[in-house]
Amino acid sequence: MLLEMTAELLPTVPAAYIDATIERLTYTSGRSCRVSPLAKLEDTIIVCPPLITPRVIDAIILRSSAYDPGRYGPVGQRQGNRAVKWKDWLGQIPGVLVADRIRARRQDRQTAGDLDVVAVDPSQRRGLCLEIKWPIDAISLPEVTKIEDWVSSAATQVNRLRTELTSGSAVVEMPKGWPAFPEITWTWAVATPQQLCLRPLPFDEVYATSFRYMASHGKPRSLNDVIDTLTSPDLPVDGVDFKIETIDFLLGRQKVVLDAIGLDPKGWEPRRWNS
């Protein structure tokens, strides 16, 4: 019934897409009611209006786009081209060379991987390699954990490629006019759109950051600003900028204790580079 009704409202949308959307929005074990607000009871789908929020629409569209950016028009293209935002931002730094998707090859000419975004200061012989990931934003602790798992997995990918390049078992051909790869002191990192990963990564000197965090420092004066902040981030301090506290809720004769983060009313933001 729901499929038929939706098909009448959206006659140009293939039935298979409508069916897949309804399935994604239907709650099952392991899914959150935040993003799956429909409930199935035998052959009936129950619509829960209090659970229908913009977050549901964001999740279904962005998850689908992240799965296959080529199928989802402008939204999919924006998801799939997150690396371009990093490239453009780093390209504004005076004297810095920036490129993306530089391919690494092994001695047998097989592909070892790609350097998603590369920034080099030729005068300082310092370089930054970013592995770009674009998970949708987390709003619950399980989603935060999933993104941290994703970042840790990406760090493994970065370390493997770094090991092959530094050992010489794989090589990259830098763009014309750039210093050769071995002449540069490299910093390696995984970059997400918004979420910082504070879980220790499984490899030394592989870092994690987000575009939102780095851009909040203002316009970098040099690549040194970016690398130094990446390796020694400016973060809020427990007991100064925030504190862990509990909130009690009385439900009849029962009390629910909820852990919460209490923020300083004055707020906090990273130290700006031009300050």
- DSSP annotation string for 70-110: GGSHHHHHHHHTHHHHHHHHHTTSTT-EEEEEEEEEETTS-
Cα–Cα distance, 124 to 223 (Å, whole number): 9
Q: Which residues contact 147 (CB under 8 A, 6 or more apart)?
A: 135, 138, 192, 195, 197
Q: Quick check: 48 pLDDT over 70?
A: yes
Reduced to 3 states, what is the DSSP secondary structure of residue 164? helix
Distance (Å) of CA 173 to CA 87, 106, 115, 121, 160: 18, 12, 11, 17, 18
Contact 244, 261 (CB under 8 A): yes
- pLDDT given at position 41: 80
- pLDDT given at position 177: 92
- pLDDT given at position 55: 61
Range of 38-47, 58-67, 75-84, 188-197 with top mean pLDDT: 188-197
- pLDDT given at position 31: 80
- Give the lowest-confidence range in 41-50, 160-169, 243-252: 41-50
| pLDDT (tens digit per residue) in 182-201 | 999 999 999 998 888 888 99
- Give the lowest-confidence range in 26-40, 110-124, 189-203, 249-263: 26-40
Does residue 60 or residue 274 have the better pLDDT? 274
Q: Quick check: 72 pLDDT over 70?
A: no
The model scores a pTM over 0.85 = no
Q: Quick check: 60 pLDDT over 70?
A: no
Does residue 39 or residue 58 have the better pLDDT? 39
- pLDDT given at position 94: 94
Strand partners, 257: 248
229 band by pLDDT with thresholds 50, 70 and 90:
very high
Q: Quick check: 80 pLDDT over 70?
A: no
Q: Which of 258, 204, 195, 193 is nearest to 231 (CA)?
A: 204
Q: How much is the mean pLDDT over the chain? A: 85
209 band by pLDDT with thresholds 50, 70 and 90:
very high
> Residue-wise over 76-115: b if at least 16 C-beta within 10 A, else e?
bebbbebbebbbebbeebeebbbbbebebeeeeeeebbbb
Sign of CA dihedral 250, 251, 257, 263: negative
| pLDDT (tens digit per residue) in 125-166 | 999 999 998 877 777 777 888 889 999 999 999 999 999 999
Q: Quick check: 231 pLDDT over 70?
A: yes
